[in-house]
A and B are shown apart, each in its own frame.
Chain A
Amino acid sequence: MSNTRRDFIKITSLSAAGLVFGGHYVHSAMQSKRLALGGDAGPSRTPTYCEVCFWQCAGWVYKNEDGKIQKITGNNDDQNCNGRLCPRGTGGVGMYYDEDRLKTPLMRVKGADGKQTFKEVSWDEAFDFIAEKMQKIKEEHGAECTALFTHGSGGKYWGDMLKAFGSNNIAAPSYSQCRGPREVAFIATYGEGLNSPEPLDIRDTRCLVLIGSHLGENMHNGQVQEMSDAIDNGASIITVDPRYSTAASKSKFWLPIKPATDIALLLSWIREIINNDWYDKAYVEKYTYGFDELKNYVQPFTPEWAYGITTLKPHHIRESAREMANAAPSVIVHPGRHVTWYGDDTQRLRAVAILNALLGSWGRRGGYYIPDKLSLPDYPHPEFPQPKRTWRDVTNGKYKLADLALASGVCDATIPSPDMDCNIKGWIVNGTNLIMTLPDQQKTIDAINNLELLVVVDTMPMEITGYADVVLPECTYLERWDDLRVAPGRNPSIALRMPAAEPKYNSKPAYWMAKEVAKRLGLGEYFAWETFEEKLDWQLKQVGSSLEEMKRIGVKNLPREYGNLFYAENEEVDFYTNTGKIELYSTALEAEGFDPFPVYTPHMEPPEGYYHLNYGRAPMHTFSRTANNPNLTDLMDENAVWVNPKVAKEWGLQNGQPVYLQNQDGVVSEFPVKVRVTERIRFDSVYIVHGFGHADKKLSRAYGKGASDSQLITRVLMDPIMGGTGMRGNFVTFLFEKESEVQS
């Protein structure tokens, strides 16, 4: 393998070249500060939908008198944002003005000194190289030995290119590293997953239960807005979290649970609701399967039993169960989003799904609504060929219940092993920094070392770009057309993204790149449109709109086609499960050899002097993607490690003191992180915001700021049901200085 071993190259080497060959790049930072005073944005505005996170809020981009992008505001007609973007969306301008952006295509070459380095190349050179390598992989190993990892809009075009090429290994880390277990649990229970945005009627709920979900710090825009509406309407909030989150501070009940014991609490809640006859009898009888078995099953799980495990007082467990029951069916036990915690996540989410069913909240006002989504025809193209092996074969047929390809599985399938008959040889990585996103960084790097081709498409140099053979600079969402947004919601809707400005530097849209590569592979017929506008207009005309109309309004809401938002009284419903009912008892899990009811299993506890490593989000950042955004780093440019005052005293830690974190496997954080001594965290845990501690110097604002939780997540707890990668089984301790020998 040594011939394909690649070094991590810092794109820093380019900046010197950038100065020589493209001095005009340098002044962009200044320009961003030279916007005309007065703040009157003038009449020109273009529609977009936000790409700073997956919520995809629709908005308007305004320019100042000099024709420069000044600000982005929400589109009032959009159901995802109701005219209000979140801080990241408002700060989206920073993505455009960020002077550290990728500027021109790059290729890995050996320098005269034998060292690997990037050189600037033309788009033609980059595409020719990619096409040639892909052909070679196809001839030698088969087309299905290529894979795409993606996050964001560009994934559709690269995905189509790959499907046309003969591979369906298309994986989004947002599945096996994030919401996958939730989808599988809800499919097992209700016959359908939740998707994005989740169909939660938070604004009309009377009781919102958040389990480890920190809405408010987690800026899922529509949900944060509706949580605020619910507070206005006097709804009660119950928060389960070892940390006093912002949401906890708005809650009637905060249950400061011992980490990793959530299933015990859920089982106890289920028992309380059944044994006190607080469940929705008519609903349970009409719609569910397996109630009597469930009732039997949960009998041992008394609040006193749960107390011994969760450290939550029995009367708090009872009172909070009562609170939910009083509000039912207008109650939401929130399914969460990043749910890959301890490897039994599908089961935990099953318990959440069951609890909702007992309370009768699925399909009810103030609970889960029935979403509707427009089906938009694709621009005509030939049928995609049947891949010789699918992602299921490639990932060795494991995890049958997974409904999407597993990013971690595809990564594993890249590392040769005796039980694998097909190894993946080529990756396209679109808009996702796999080094930070996938757990176990060393494994990701090992996989990369076995590749024959790694193409990275991004707007910013991220850690992953340093491993690429070819780097393709994408222009930001403010500079490009993209596919129409067809999000599910209370009503079907479409939103348009169009360029507000010409792409800066030599960056290009992903649809153009994918088409160019496809053409070189003889697959041009899959991208038969001349211009992207032509494609969009064709699609819009199929659904009674037009590009011309959408340019004017940005968002179009359509009438529902899929019946009512909620079930009518006594409505007959056929659920897409084996029994046609909501399965409290899961026949699908049983058939695959898994427990039909959620089981509480004790998890590992931190060794002496170590603490649970909890991580989460800050409202002004999206994962590691925004860590260099000038507007957003202005709000928060590093994370801190939250430490309980008792722990701080024991260790002699002061507020603001820099420490290194070392995990149970001896991995030490690359950079020190400042201590934040706060009562808001349990004594057995520490907390850091995810997405900091960037190691790439080219990210001038993010480099070396804080600690990276990803780096410290080396123990991965696999979910046996669907292959989710549980990341909360890691423990850390404090180091005052970094000794080189500790670092291994």
Chain B
Amino acid sequence: MRYAMAIDTKKCVGCSDCVVACQTENNVPIGYCRDWVVEITDGTYPQLEIEIRSERCNHCENSPCVRCCPTGASHYEDGGIVTVTHNKCIGCGACIVSCPYDARYSHPEGYVDKCTFCLHRIKKGQQPACVEVCPTKCMYFGDLDDPNSDVSKMLKKRKYKTLIPEAGTKPHVYYLI
């Protein structure tokens, strides 16, 4: 089982609903976030293009953060989900520095926090909160090993890319382009 997410940049409108839904679902304190929206404008008026992306932890298959964690707090869960065990984390911040995507933040209560792919929801058979709320339905979540999962189907149907592939991290968040 390999969990992954595919996000359709052609449909995302950058509304940030995914960010608020994550905040209320996961009690992310005001002023912090586990996911965020990036908007890139290209060209000159009136020949323009925008790409809008909802970004979060890429749950990399080859993750520098898990490798560098001195306490083993950062680890893989079933399905390749990268998580942090809060009470094992000493808040040293090595993982924050090692992540090429800047996906981790230091929680005011002294540990490092990040996207969990909403593991607690997946366990109950639900979709991640951000996927479930997105008004444009532009996010797909599922198991890459299951050819019938939403995410596998979208990756088969559409062109896609990952972020900073040259870092060699093998991200599990794909962007449909």
Q: A interface vs B, CB < 8 Å?
A: 32-33, 35-40, 70-74, 83-87, 90-91, 93, 215-217, 219, 221, 224-225, 227-229, 231-232, 244, 246-250, 254, 256, 619-620, 630-632, 634-635, 644-645, 678-683
Contacts and interface: CB of A to CB of B under 8 A. Distances in A.
Nearest to A256: B46
Contacts of B31: 634
A216 B15 contact: yes
A225 B12 CA distance: 11
Contacts of B20: 87, 90-91, 620, 631-632, 635
Contacts of B10: 231, 250
B2 interface: no
Q: B15, B46, B48, B138: which has the most chain A beta carbons within 10 Å?
A: B15
Interface in B21-72: 21, 23-27, 29-31, 33, 41, 43-46, 48-50, 52
B134 interface: yes
A232 B71 CA distance: 46
Contacts of A33: 27, 29-30
10 contacts: A40-B120, A71-B21, A73-B133, A84-B135, A221-B135, A228-B138, A246-B50, A631-B30, A678-B41, A679-B41
B24 A219 contact: no
Contact of B16 (A72, A229, A619, A682): A619
Given A90-B17, A679-B48, A38 B133 contact: no
Nearest to A69: B24
B106 to A, nearest CB: 15
Contacts of A225: 135-137
Nearest to A215: B13
Interface residues on B, range: 35 or more
Contacts of B19: 87, 635
Nearest to A71: B24
B11 A228 contact: yes
Interface of B: 10-11, 13-17, 19-21, 23-27, 29-31, 33, 41, 43-46, 48-50, 52, 86, 118, 120-121, 129, 132-138
B23 A70 contact: no
A85 B133 contact: yes
A53 to B, nearest CB: 13
A555 to B, nearest CB: 17
Contacts of A250: 10-11, 13
Contacts of B133: 73-74, 84-85, 90
Nearest to B86: A37
Contact of B13 (A216, A244, A632): A216
A244 to B, nearest CB: 5
B30 A228 contact: no
A681 B48 CA distance: 11
A345 B41 CA distance: 32
Contacts of B118: 39
